């Protein structure tokens, strides 16, 4: 059975797939959460991806208007957007059926590092959305141990202020993980953009390396590929990585506390490991 909300965007879907009617479409569920539902709809060899996003996921249309389209970021083409019951409905180009989570090759992680360098090369006319003030706010909204919180509000905030002096704020995807890196067999594309924001840190490279190590790859070649592709200073990248780890974990903990435990109940199980990870990355700040 196809999603009930498809009627709202049926026109663009049929125009793109050339299907005679909605009933002729073949549907494949790619994700089904309370806050996010994603389908691949196909007719013959033609297909599109359609999404319904609410809560934090509802911002993806705005992110396309703010960042993806004007900066020509490596994301799926947005074919159509609509709103329904406080949710955004998107029709997106289908950019491939294999993601890096399904096939976690060393070559794929290196390609992702190059793709990230492309994103970070795009100057954006917007202020940072992860300053030291934001860091302190996230600490106070998260279930962080008092000792870790104290170090973040002192050392972490100071290091983040310094980073803002030394590195420009650029687009952060916010969920740069293997499942969101898709290939058509030739090119790689970044999907799922609702969490994007602007900051000078490298949480995207942090999560890419984190997941590469988890499946048995070495971190050094991936970081080196990013540095080479971006033409940037290795010491600066290490600082961006450290603060990127802090940003990623803090934002994840805050999301779980304020939304995730309702929309994705299994996210409660992530809190303990994330708190351990936050302690480790915070200890590494110098």
214 to 68, 104, 108, 163, 211: CA distances (angstroms): 29, 10, 15, 28, 5
Claim to verify: residue 88 and residue 116 sit in the same structural domain: no
Return the residue matching tokens 């008092």. Answer: 146
Claim to verify: residue 89 and residue 135 sit in the same structural domain: no
Claim to verify: residue 88 and residue 112 sit in the same structural domain: no
Claim to verify: residue 57 and residue 137 sit in the same structural domain: no
| Residues 6 or more apart in contact with residue 238 via CB below 8 angstroms | none
Whole domain around residue 231: which residue ranges? Answer: 98-283
Claim to verify: residue 117 and residue 88 sit in the same structural domain: no
Return contacts of 277-280, CB within 8 angstroms, 24+ apart: 277/245, 277/249, 278/144, 278/148, 278/246, 278/249, 278/250, 278/253, 279/145, 279/148
Q: Kindly state the tokens that stand for 133.
A: 């003030």
Claim to verify: residue 145 and residue 238 sit in the same structural domain: yes
Claim to verify: residue 123 and residue 191 sit in the same structural domain: yes
Claim to verify: residue 132 and residue 247 sit in the same structural domain: yes
CATH number at residue 118: 3.90.1200.10
Claim to verify: residue 174 and residue 73 sit in the same structural domain: no
Q: Which of 93, 122, 149 is the last residue of a domain?
A: 93
Claim to verify: residue 169 and residue 266 sit in the same structural domain: yes
Q: Which of 44, 77, 93 is the last residue of a domain?
A: 93
Q: Which of 52, 68, 93 is the last residue of a domain?
A: 93
Claim to verify: residue 103 and residue 123 sit in the same structural domain: yes
- Do 144 and 278 form a contact (C-beta atoms < 8 A)? yes
Q: Kindly state the tokens that stand for 251.
A: 């934002």
Q: Which string of DSSP letters, residue by residue, matches 250-271?
A: HHHHHHIIIIIHHHSGGGGGGH
Claim to verify: residue 125 and residue 45 sit in the same structural domain: no
CATH number at residue 70: 3.30.200.20
User: How many structural domains are present in the chain?
Assistant: 2
pLDDT tens track, the chain, 286 positions: 899 999 999 999 999 999 999 999 999 999 998 889 999 999 999 999 999 999 888 999 999 999 999 999 999 999 999 999 889 999 999 999 999 999 999 999 999 999 999 999 999 999 999 999 999 999 999 999 999 999 999 999 999 999 999 999 999 999 999 999 999 999 999 999 999 999 999 999 999 999 999 999 999 999 999 999 999 999 999 999 999 999 999 999 999 999 888 888 899 999 999 999 999 999 999 8
């Amino acid at each position: 059975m196809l999603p009930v909300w498809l009627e709202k965007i049926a026109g663009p879907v049929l125009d793109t797939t050339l299907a005679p009617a909605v009933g002729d479409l073949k549907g494949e569920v790619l994700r089904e959460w309370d806050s996010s539902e994603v389908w691949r709809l196909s007719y013959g060899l033609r297909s599109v991806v359609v999404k319904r996003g609410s809560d934090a996921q509802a911002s993806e249309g705005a992110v396309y208007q703010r960042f993806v389209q004007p900066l020509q970021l490596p994301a799926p083409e947005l074919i159509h957007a609509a709103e329904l019951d406080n949710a955004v409905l998107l029709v997106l180009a289908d950019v491939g059926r294999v993601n890096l989570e399904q096939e976690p090759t060393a070559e794929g992680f290196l390609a992702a590092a190059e793709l990230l360098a492309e994103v970070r090369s795009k100057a954006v006319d917007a202020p940072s959305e992860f300053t030291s003030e934001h860091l302190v706010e996230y600490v106070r909204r998260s279930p962080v141990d008092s000792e870790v919180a104290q170090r973040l509000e002192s050392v972490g905030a100071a290091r983040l202020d310094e980073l803002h002096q030394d590195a420009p704020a650029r687009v952060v995807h916010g969920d740069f993980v293997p499942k969101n890196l898709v290939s058509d067999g030739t090119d790689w594309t970044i999907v799922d953009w609702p969490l994007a924001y602007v900051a000078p840190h490298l949480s995207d490279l942090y999560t890419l390396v984190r997941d590469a190590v988890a499946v048995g790859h070495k971190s050094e070649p991936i970081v080196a590929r990013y540095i080479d592709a971006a033409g940037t200073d290795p010491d600066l990248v290490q600082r961006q990585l450290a603060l990127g780890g802090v940003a990623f974990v803090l934002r994840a903990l805050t999301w779980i506390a304020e939304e995730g435990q309702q929309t994705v109940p299994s996210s409660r199980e992530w809190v303990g490991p994330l708190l351990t990870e936050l302690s480790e990355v915070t200890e590494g700040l110098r």
